[in-house]
Structure 1
Amino acid sequence: MLDATLTQQLKAYLVNIREPIELVASLGDDAKSRELGELLNEIAALSDKVSVVPAADDKRRPSFMIRRTGTDIGVRFAGIPMGHEFTSLVLALLQVGGHPSKAAQELIQQVKELDGDFEFETYFSLSCQNCPDVVQALNLMAVLNPRIRHTAIDGALFQDEVTSRKVMAVPTVFLNGEPFGQGRMELEQIVAKIDSGAEAKAAAKIAQKDPFDVLIVGGGPAGAAAAIYTARKGIRTGIVAERFGGQVLDTMGIENFISVSHTEGPKLAAHLEQHVKDYDVDIMNLQRAEKLIPARSEGGLHEVVLANGARVKAKALILSTGARWRQMNVPGEDEYRNKGVAYCPHCDGPLFKGKRVAVIGGGNSGVEAAIDLAGIVAHVTLIEYDSQLRADAVLQRKLASLPNVKILTSAMTTRVNGDGEKVSGLSYKDRNSGTEHDIELEGIFVQIGLVPNTEWLKDAIGLTPRGEIEIDARGETSQPGIFAAGDATTVPYKQIVIAMGAGSTAALSAFDYLIRLPAEELVEAAA
């Protein structure tokens, strides 16, 4: 199961195990059970502190528990945690084995003090780049608190469970048998959701902060670049981010980031966060901005009101709130979101193995999604509003060569159809003839571009009719002392490298703005 490189890497990690652990295996006679048994034996052979023992019984096969010998401390995997989940496996081995987590001590203590019995189950897919964060967070919680249990389940191997529990998107988390959450969640988010006092504590802590020289709203590539540039200038910098990394976290393969031939979104986001943390930057993660109150006069303090009620002030602002997937805005889309309507083919594609799906959108993202899905599902129908596809020619040629793909152009999706629980099809209108058609299918993947996250800025700064923040070549907005960068702005091309450059430009402009303020205004702003 493990190649030579992975074997050497894993052996080096397992040296950090402090307490003996057991791999409690529940295996059947099937091929996947044999693969899992081989993997567990290979792991045990790399450390004298790891052993494999058979399970007395387990309803899921193949599965295994990583258990600290002689204790109830442990986590479970139902399936073979390779692919994106291999890191989750390594971390679980180390943490169950007593190696300390790098999570903030304050957060670790909060997990230990959680009162109640929590049985978590997470359905993941091996191709999902968002799933490991959820799996790793819940695994850590199970190690830290004896009243917390967690099982990570590969939905592709346990299709009967996926069907019976109506799981149509990953990661999907159940708590004590009831739906708890879907999509990417970090440790702080999960803890805040089950700790009723967490939000109030966070708001009180933020409210006590002194005004910043520069406050950056948004933690994607533009926001991270801006923070690094302002911090290097020696000015007091803060970041408010709904989720650090932004939309990059939802990006699978990145092959046009100059000087890096290939990387993945979550990896790049982690590197961005670590780079920012190398400087004295106050990161306020998992905080959503809801209102902007510009300064009453040039040199005054701008104010950002957060969803938890806290208010953060700064002499200069850099808005880098990014964008999100655009919706079709047709009847049924909201009703069947995560019940067949999906926006991440890499994450949710494996759940539709052998089924019929549609991809909405004929640009690069849509055509790439259709190509990827064609290798998993029974059939793909690609629907494009325009009279022709807009994807690169090389992608169109690849798509046309696939036997289980049908391409519909000049087609306008008009409705998502379902049976009340899940998607059963869609309706579209032929824009040439005006005729209506229905397609029976089980999944719809929407890939029709981006919409800026700027609703909260209406009436505060200048926006285009599309909602983009209007900026000049220096990143300046319509309000003095407020700058913007990245996909939320009028910058013509929405690319990671462009967002980083724009964030750097906005940071340098903000610094230039601050140093040119009259001395008396600086004193007044700080008062």
Structure 2
Amino acid sequence: MLDANLQAQLKAYLERLQHPIELIASLDERPESGEMRELLEEITALSDKISLRLDGQDTRRPSFQITRAGEDMGVRFAAIPMGHEFTSLVLALLQAGGHPPKIEAELIEQIRALKPETELVFETWMSLTCHNCPDVVQALNLMAVLNPRIRHVAIDGSLFQKEVEERQIMAVPLVFLNGEKFASGRMEVGEILAKIDTGAAARDAAKLSEKAPFDVLIVGGGPAGAAAAIYAARKGIRTGLVAERFGGQTLDTLGIENYISVPHTEGPKFAAALEQHVREYDVDVMNLQRVESVEPAQEKGGLATVRLSNGAELKSRTVILATGARWRNVNVPGEEQYKTKGVAYCPHCDGPLFKGKKVAVIGGGNSGVEAAIDLAGVVEHVTLIEFADQLKADAVLVNKLKSLPNVAIHTNAQTTEITGDGQKVNGLTFKDRVSGAEHHLELAGVFVQIGLVPNTEFLKGSAVELSRYGEIIIDAKCHTSAEGIFAAGDVTTVPYKQIVIAAGEGSKAALSAFDHLIRTSAPA
């Protein structure tokens, strides 16, 4: 299972184990059980602090538990955790063996302090190709290591297809708590804690409101926000960054191959590097916080107010808005009803759940055509629906798509409805924009890939002027229409929504904010 290079790396990591750990496998006669046993035996051979038992009693087989010797830790994999989940496996081994986790001490204490009346039993349904799943798996595994009242199992849906069908799991990551749906999509430890620790929001608000005013406060943690924070901090001014999730949309991007000097990386890795770089400077990072409104200073040289959804208020002499954009919805009947029930937005994450089935992709730009090519290697058949009279993707991608035998392309096609049986998607209806004829496709899934919407809802009715597309209007130096308020990146009117452009705009906005500060603080 593990090549020589991977074994050498893992052996080095396992030298950090402080306590003996046990791997307890529950196996059956399936070939996958043989693969799991092989993997566990290879791991056991790499450290004298790891032992393997094959007498597990879990009814979900194959699966294995990771626990400190003599204890009953609630960390389990109903999966052969390779691919994106190999890191989750390594971290679970290290943390169960006493290696300290790399999260804030406050979060560790909050996890340990949880005392639920009944055990919290989490199940995370994931796929090994999903780049959003590891964050959820790793967060819940850590919580299970730190608190004996928490248990977690990470389940590879491809190993348990019958259960996938019975529980109607159509998107990953999908988390159940004590048998009931808890949450879907990427989540970090803080987000999970906020949902189960009801007093956390009030405590956060009180702490945040006590912070002294900033010289520059950045709203958003994507490439634009991170660049702005670094440039501002390097000027020696008091810098804060508040973000709903650090990394922004890059967290949902699989491959990045056009960031200059970095030939190839993956979105989550890129986002982690952004955060690490920002934290090397004196930046007050306030992650997992949603901004509700921004009020410019009432007088020249005064303080702007940024209000958060938990009730906290932050003050700053200048503000840089870098809230980015999100995937655009197709806005037809059935889309909202069947989200995570056949309507999906990430082919890399959810594609394996539709293995051997028929799906559609809405959108003929680069992301849509790339999604169709990716899915064609997994599913039975892909139908691509494009509103315009031709595909807008790069010619090389279009040619590749057209060469695939299990792909159909419809241009001049307007999606009018996503249909379902009340539980999950069963089809899509589209209209031929030339003839007016309606067509219905029988499908198991629909992947929406039709562009971006700026995250500016919190600015509606504010002093910050927006374009008719909802983007923040800026000038060449990132000034908005409001005094002391700047903006950068995909949320603005700057053309071409690219990571490298957002980073440059964030740097420019920080320099403009600094220029504003020195001019407004200069004596008359």
Fold in common (TM above 0.5): yes
Residue matched to 2:41: 41
Contact 1:74–1:96, Cα closer than 8 Å, also in 2: no
Match of 2:414 among 384, 398, 412: 412
Residue of structure 1 equivalent to 2:314: 312
The code of the aligned residue for 1:475 comes to: C
Correspondence list, 1:413-492, <5 A: 413-460=415-462, 461-492=464-495
**Counterparts of 1:28 and 1:401, CA distance in 2:** 41
Amino acid at match of 2:268: P
What is the CA-CA distance between 1:481 and the residue it aligns to?
1.0
| Segment of structure 1 superposing worse, 85-94 or 60-69 | 60-69
2:283 is aligned, of 264, 281, 284, to 281
Q: Distance in 2 between matches of 1:473 and 1:181?
A: 41
Equivalent residue for 1:344, pick from 343, 346, 368: 346
CA contact (8 A) 2:74 2:150 kept: no
Structural mapping, 1:319-330, within 5 Å: 319-330=321-332
Deviations 1:357-414 (A, max 9, x none): 0000000000000000011111100000001101111111111111111000000000
1:297 positional shift: 2.2
TM-score if structure 2 supplies the norm length? 0.98
Contact map agreement 1:462 1:477 (CA 8 A) in 2: yes
- The Cα shift of 1:459 comes to 2.6
Deviation at 1:22, TM superposition (A): 1.1
Among 223, 226, 243, the residue aligned to 1:224: 226
Quote the residue 1:525 is aligned against: none
1:147 to 122, 146, 149: 149
Q: Tell me, yes or no, if the aligned pair for 1:68 and 1:74 is still in contact at 8 Å.
A: no
Alignment partner of 2:402 out of 400, 420, 424: 400
Aligned to 2:168: 166
Say yes or no: does 1:28 pair with 2:31: no
CA distance in 1, matches of 2:177, 2:209: 32
The residue correspondences of 1:89-104 to structure 2 (distance < 5 A) are 89-104=89-104
Give the Cα separation in 1 of the matches to 2:162 and 2:306: 47
2:497 paired residue number: 494
Render the CA deviation track for 1:315-372: whole Å, top value 9, x for unaligned: 0010000000000011111111111111111111111111110000000000000000
Tell me the distance in 1 between the aligned counterparts of 2:233 and 2:362. Answer: 42
Distance 2:430 2:328 in 1: 18
Deviation at 1:182, TM superposition (A): 0.2
2:510 match: secondary structure: helix
Equivalent of 1:266 in 247, 265, 268: 268
User: 1:107 and 1:55 mapped to 2: Cα distance?
Assistant: 35
What is the match of residue 524 of structure 1? none
Q: How does 1:132-281 map to 2 (within 5 A)?
A: 132-281=134-283
Aligned 1:377-396 pairs, distance under 5 A: 377-396=379-398
Identity %: 69
Q: Provide the secondary structure at the position in 2 that maps to 1:7.
A: helix
Q: Distance in 2 between matches of 1:96 and 1:187?
A: 17
Contact 1:84–1:126 (8 Å) recurs in 2: yes
Q: Name 1:353's counterpart in structure 2.
A: 355
3-state SS in 1 of match to 2:490: coil
- 3-state SS in 1 of match to 2:326: strand
SS of alignment partner, residue 285 of structure 2 = strand
* Corresponding residue for residue 4 of structure 1: 4
User: 1:19/1:518 Cα in 2 relative to 1: closer, same or farther (>3 Å)?
Assistant: closer
Amino acid at match of 1:476: H
Return 455-464 or 117-126, whichever deviates more.
455-464
- List per-residue Cα deviations over 1:114-139 (Å, max 9, x = no partner): 11120010001111111001000000
Q: Residue type matched to 2:292 in 1?
A: E
Report the secondary structure of 1:132's partner residue: helix
- Measured after TM superposition, the shift of residue 29 of structure 1 is 2.1
The corresponding residue for 2:62 is 62
Whether the 8 Å CA contact 1:238–1:282 is kept in 2: the answer is yes
- CA positional deviation for 1:519: 4.7
Shift of 1:15: 0.1
Q: Which ranges of structure 1 fall in alignment gaps of 5 or more residues?
A: 522-527
Unaligned runs of 5+ in 2: none
Task: Tell me, yes or no, if structure 1 residue 77 matches structure 2 residue 71.
Answer: no
Name the aligned partner's letter for residue 490 of structure 2. D
2:489 match: secondary structure: coil
- Decide whether the 8 Å contact of 1:452 with 1:487 is kept in 2: yes
> In structure 1, how many angstroms separate the alpha carbons of the residues matched to 2:133 and 2:373?
22
- Say if 2:224 and 2:505, in contact at 8 Å, map to a contact too: yes
Q: Secondary structure at the match of 1:397?
A: helix
Contact 1:14 1:94 in 2 (8 A): yes
Aligned residue for 2:143, secondary structure, equals helix
Q: Tell me the residue number matched to 2:111.
A: 111
Give how far 1:55 is off.
2.6
> Which whole-Å CA distance do the structure 1 matches of 2:411 and 2:314 have between them?
48
- Taking the aligned partners of 1:32 and 1:173, their CA distance within structure 2 comes to 23
Contact 2:383 2:408 in 1 (8 A): yes
Paired amino acid for 1:67: T
Cα deviations across residues 498-521 of structure 1 (Å, max 9, x unaligned)? 100000000000001001114579
1:515 aligns with 2:518: yes
User: Within 1, Cα distance between the matches of 2:56 and 2:233?
Assistant: 56
C-alpha distance in structure 1 between counterparts of 2:476 and 2:96, whole Å: 52
Other-structure match for 2:334: 332
CA contact (8 A) 2:431 2:439 kept: yes
SS of structure 1 residue aligned to 2:36: helix
Per the TM alignment, residue 254 of structure 1 is displaced from its structure 2 partner at its CA by: 0.6
> Residue 370 of structure 2 corresponds to which residue in structure 1?
368
Q: TM-score, normalised by structure 1?
A: 0.98
- Aligned amino acid, residue 386 of structure 1: A
Q: CA RMSD in A?
A: 1.0
Give 3-state SS (helix, strand or coil) of 1:314's partner.
strand
C-alpha contact 2:56 2:64 (8 A) present in aligned 1: no
Structure 2: how far apart are the matches of 1:55 and 1:450?
Answer: 51
Secondary structure at the counterpart of residue 491 of structure 2 = coil
Give CA-to-partner distance per residue, 1:146-178, whole Å, 9 cap, x none. Answer: 111000000111111111111111110000111
After superposition, give the CA deviation of every residue in 1:422-478 in whole Å (9 maximum; x if it has no partner). Answer: 111111110010111111101000000000000111232111000011111111111
Runs of 4+ in 1 over 6 A off after TM superposition: none
d(CA) in 2 for partners of 1:203, 1:164: 41
Corresponding residue pairs, total: 521
Match in the other structure for 1:302: 304
Secondary structure at 2:400 match in 1: helix
